[in-house]
Structure 1
């Protein structure tokens, strides 16, 4: 599986499509594409090009640009979306022609999307302030390998995580909580998300702690630039 990071919280996963007859996938052959959280800071159209599945963690615009995502849903005959109920309603209203391909995601469930096994965890966005309403937030574990928590520090229970996507900077977190999240999940590797508001100095500071303390607990943390890909 290949993971490509886009600006802020958006990632694209792709893997070879199965070959008829059960043979080995060919290099350069068709690939299955799943995208998580194409928001207003992200390269939405590029990330969704050729995608068959879209997962949205929650309703904030930096995680789902409803108008741009709806435009892609309207143009693609195959793209299916899963999102918390309120986001699903917004997408159906904006892309009525794709309404039957837009599904409400619930916590603690499992489903298949574009050939990927998806498990859901958590139910609420992390607290920003008592005067800021808390919205629904679903974390997604894809193929038992990649966990995207959205805007939360939900630890997926009853499973091991290979690759953790870490919200490095947000109005709702601090460095100590970021590091504690990495320690709690104990993934083999971790990469940053939710970092569009950090400058280079801030990135170096936060990721330095994540890398140093992650190493102590067996998690190899590495930086990814927007557009950079890694093979998992």
Structure 2
């Protein structure tokens, strides 16, 4: 399975001629990421994870594309005249197939930003038991060790210690960064130096992926 990272939290997976894209948000190269897409998975409704205008335009142009997302995302896409039959509401602790991909869901709630800011539903996705995209959460998949984990590197709702603890808790073989668009180049270097070091202490390889960079994921 080929994984391609785009800016921030958008990731594209390709397998057996099928394309699955996670979190095509406003900071990402949405049209490029969605080129030839079959299935879109969205973790939550925040615009940096789901650009409903651009995603809606792609869905109207390509009626065969399917979307799996929390209820709030589905509601926004329906408002943009996307047929509900193509939109599938997901919750945590479920599983489904999307073409050749098998998907498990975890989590359920966005990480707390501030007590005065309401939380929203957030669903993390494990694809083919090979790669985990947690969205805006440090939820660890229960009962499953996923070899490749996408780690939210920096956010208004996190601190570096929590990032490190999340990586250690997943027991992943390798991690790649997502949710990194708010970091300057200097800030990215500072955070990645510490995260890579402590990941390595616990046997996990940290590998930075630049936007549009691809990596082949081993089969599980």
Give the TM-score of the pair, scaled to structure 1.
0.92
Instruction: Name the count of aligned residue pairs.
Output: 217
Structure 2 residue runs without a partner (length 5+): none
Match of residue 80, structure 2, among 78, 81, 94: 94
Deviations 1:60-115 (A, max 9, x none): 0000000100110111132100010111111122133x321111011100000121
Deviations 1:30-74 (A, max 9, x none): x11000000000011110111110000000000000010011011
Residue equivalent to 2:58: 72
1:73–1:95 contact (8 Å) kept in structure 2: no
Residue equivalent to 1:215: 200
- State the SS of the aligned residue for 1:180: helix
- State the SS of the aligned residue for 1:57: coil
4+ residue runs over 6 A deviation: none
- State the SS of the aligned residue for 2:108: coil
Separation of aligned partners in 2, 1:172 and 1:69: 25
Residue equivalent to 1:28: none
Give the TM-score of the pair, scaled to structure 2.
0.97
- State the SS of the aligned residue for 2:102: strand
Match of residue 109, structure 2, among 107, 124, 146: 124
Match of residue 37, structure 1, among 19, 23, 27: 23
Residue equivalent to 1:24: none
1:71–1:95 contact (8 Å) kept in structure 2: no
- State the SS of the aligned residue for 2:20: strand
Separation of aligned partners in 2, 1:95 and 1:4: 29
Please identify, of 203-212 and 119-128, the stretch whose mean Cα deviation from structure 2 is larger.
203-212
Distance apart, 1:143 and its partner CA: 0.4
1:2–1:14 contact (8 Å) kept in structure 2: yes
Separation of aligned partners in 2, 1:53 and 1:218: 33
Give the alignment's Cα RMSD to 1 decimal.
Answer: 0.8
Distance apart, 1:200 and its partner CA: 1.0
Distance apart, 1:157 and its partner CA: 0.4
Larger Cα Rg: Structure 1 or Structure 2?
1
Structure 1 residue runs without a partner (length 5+): 17-30
